[in-house]
Each structure stands twice: as C-alpha cells, then as structure tokens.
Structure 1
C-alpha cells in the first residue's frame, strides 16, 4: 500500500473519531453550531468513504490484522490446504468432522464398514475364544450384506465379506505366533527368609 493511502487512512480514522465525539456531544444536548459541525463532519466522512475503493479498504484491514499478529500461528501456515485439488464432494464437511473428531458410529455405512474392516484383525486378536471370533465375523458379514442391499445413496460399499473359517484359521495362527514369541515367565524369586533357611543364596 502506498504512503498516500496510509496517510489518507490515518486522516480517515481521525475524522471517524471526531464524528464519534460530535455524536456524543449531540446526545448530551448540543448547540446549533455543534450540530452544524457534526453534520459537516458526517458529510465529509460519507464523501471520504465514497472515494476509498473496496480494494484499498481490504488492503488496509489485512495489513492492520497482520500488524496485530492475527495471522500468526495459523493451522495451515506454510502448508498446502487439504482437499484443494480434489473434486467437489457434497459431504466434505461431515467427512472432515468425522475425521477430525474421531467420531465413530456416524457417517455413511460404506465408510464405517471400511474403517471397521481395517481394524477387524486387531479386534479379533483381542478375543479369547473361537466362538467370540465367529460371532464378530458373522455380524460383520451380515452388516456388509445389509449395506449392499440398501439404496440410500452415498459412496458404494466396496468392503468384502470375510470367510469365517479362514478368519478362524488366521486368528489361531496369530495366537500361536504370539505365544511362541512371548518370553517365558521368570521363575519367582523366593523370599529372603526362605533363602536363608535353606542355606541357598
């Protein structure tokens, strides 16, 4: 911004302050001369506003905000704006909210099933019996089939069903591998008085 524009902005600010003072005087009961001064100041202010174009106003407001530090530490400062080059998605806000807030249980079924499918192995590994694993996989398959049958719109359901027997075999294999890798439990150390009593160190 040129120095002429910044100088005119400071003059503009002084006139605004003067107009505010004159309004306060008018509200407190003013004379005819003060009313004339106020009207002249307001008219001058209107003319000044008409002369300043919108680009200069925007430039002034941006520079003023930068001087106050309002643009410091912005979330995406120096980084690309996410989703800028992608095609328009009408559900962008909802998907972003679900991702940001880590909300589970809300959203299109296709997305929820994909998320659940990604974490299904870990969920199965936390189970202790084959019956529990079988029930979880059967429930997952039923929900995938149900989502494919519904015609409510939204993204397509591309999540595949899982074979219960194959998942049981994989679960058994993962449990056996985890048991083989797990270190043996150390032999509990005897209390000091037993070691002294038996004469062992």
Structure 2
C-alpha cells in the first residue's frame, strides 16, 4: 500500500515537472542559506526572530528581562513629557518586578524595584540640560524637537 502511495505521489511530481510548475520559483538557482554552517539546534527560532524582526530579549527568562528593562529605564523615560508620566512608567515596571518577586520563576537573579526618585532626578537633569541647549540655539524651540519613538512590548500598554 505504501509503494502505491509513493508511486502516485511520484507520478504527480513528474507530471507537474513536465507542465513546468517548478520553473521560475523564488530562490531558484540560489544557494540554500546556511548550508555551509555547522548544525544549530535552534536554527528555526533564530530564523523566526530574524524574519519577524523581533528582539532577542524575548528569549531571556523573566528575571533577566525585568533586570534589563530596569537598566534601560533612564533611556526609556528621557523623552516623556511630565513627571507624572515618568512616575507611571516606573510604577508599572515596579509592579511587574514585585509580582515576579512574590512568585519567582526561572533562574535566581537579583532584581530590585527601580528607585523612582533617582529616575526623576536623572530625568530633571536631562530635561534642564536639554532646555539649556535649546535656549542657546536661536530659532529652535522645545516643540520643534521630536522625541524618538521607542519599541515597546505590545502587551504592556496598560
């Protein structure tokens, strides 16, 4: 029965080749990417992340993700417009950190809540330096400086 099935499949492939259905396929005549590289067990996840342009941080365990996000807080809040928005951002991150600390999973990594007041001091200092730079350049106003858009986790809007 298996031989009959294989024969039927081979006949369909042969007839498709004769009709020219395999001619001019995308990638025809090009080498297979990664063929000369050593075998990697996680090739499929790496190719998925590259193809979908996802950050590799998604592969990290939760405590390392939280720790990395805590380290990036000054850069993330730099362009926020008000102290209240900075407090909200840091508060949301601290709530996630505390939730993880209550029920830790993954490797045991030291993750501490972010000091809101220290972040606010940095934010104020950066804001004052930026305002001084804006005041020193004629014709440039605060509203003419566009903040950079940053990538955010799509499920963390709330």
When normalised by structure 1's length, the TM-score is 0.41
Kindly indicate whether structure 1 or structure 2 has the higher relative contact order, using CA contacts under 8 Å at least 6 residues apart: 2
Higher radius of gyration, 1 or 2:
1
